[in-house]
Amino acid sequence: MPITSSGGVTYTVRFPQPVAFFGTYRFEIGQSPENSLRAGDGLVGLFGRAGQGDTLLLEQLNERPHWGATNSNAAADPNPRLEAAVDAARRGADVSLLLDSFFDDAGSAVGNAATCAYVTQLAGREGLRLRCQTGNPTGLGIHNKMALAQIDGRGFVHVGSLNGTEVSHKANRELTLSVQSDAAYAYLARLFAGDAPRTTYLPLALSGFDGAADHLLISELVYDPPGPDEAEFVELVNPTGAPIDLTGYALGDAVSALDFEDMRHFPPGVVVPPGGVVVVALSAAAFQAEFGVVPQFEIVDSDPGVPDLIDDPAWGDPAALFQLGNSGDEVVLIRWDGLVDVVTLSLIHISEPTRPY
């Protein structure tokens, strides 16, 4: 019975009765320290025969990322067992490691968590069919020391007292048994699959969910910068996968055509690439002095190298200036066919704005 209070996972008992297999089987007896690291047989030799289309499953109490001193590494002091599994994945085998999490020290440089981090990094960097997980299926840890291999359609089982530490191979008296048995492999592969942690993704239904934005967005603004008010800015972002032509777009704080505030159009020919941003500052000179970069556009003409937004005399007050009020305001992004995005400001003081783009 799994102990759920210490991490065990409840699942239906799969093996209520002892199992027996009858037939003639090829087997090997391995013992350490005499022959447990030989490359031609035992575990290292078994993994060394695996390649394209084969499967390796390793369930272990302890499998170190490297041998040698704790502060060493896999290049200087490789764990021959682990590197044999990695090499099998490089030859095209499908390799899965399941290591104990209950007894493991997750902060140790030579613990099982470190092994999985090392393996996962290799798999991602090289595109290998190589997985490593830690687990605690019973609530009392994984004390199994088992390797399973299916090579050229034939099943192999390697079990015993040998774990993945250097001491276990070079100093301890350990014993292993390797057997070629398709039936035993299939039986124990079911055990491995049952012990491996699983994540179940349930269907998700959201009412009124629109998904990712398919239009230009107001992504950031600073209306009360620590320096002069002229350094305030509004940032727009294109979150889509296609370029957006800003012809017909306007930005301002006049929420209606009769409002006594301002609305400004973008110059013709401006295109925002996918994922691109556009920063509109009140004053390019003040903005550059405050943030150390040059905006794409400005409202007042302070820098001849930065284009000005064009005032819309038919929307808002032609005498007004698009400048955000510190006690509250609105930022409106419109297009010729309607509203695109809007942000309403309340009285919030931002003392350290983030760096624009």
The tens digit of pLDDT for each residue in 40-54 reads 999 999 999 999 999
Contact of 167 with 5, CB cutoff 8 Å: no
Range 158-172 average pLDDT: 95
First to last CA, the chain: 56
Residue 325 — pLDDT band, cuts 50, 70, 90? Answer: confident
Closest CA to 356 of 218, 166, 163: 218
What's the gap between Cα 284 and its chain centre? 38
Give per-residue pLDDT as tens, 217-271. 999 988 878 778 889 999 999 998 889 999 989 998 888 777 778 889 999 889 9
Residue 221's φ and ψ, nearest 5 degrees, are: -155, 150
3-state SS class at 168: helix
Helix (H, G, I), strand (E, B) or coil at 178: strand
CA-to-CA separations, 71 to 74, 169, 183, 233, in angstroms, rounded: 10, 20, 42, 50
Tokens of 159: 């079990």
pLDDT score, position 200? 61
Distance separating alpha carbons of residues 130 and 180, to the nearest angstrom: 23
Residues 6+ apart with CB under 8 A from 209: none
Residues 53-90 have pLDDT tens digits of 999 999 999 999 999 999 999 999 999 999 999 999 99
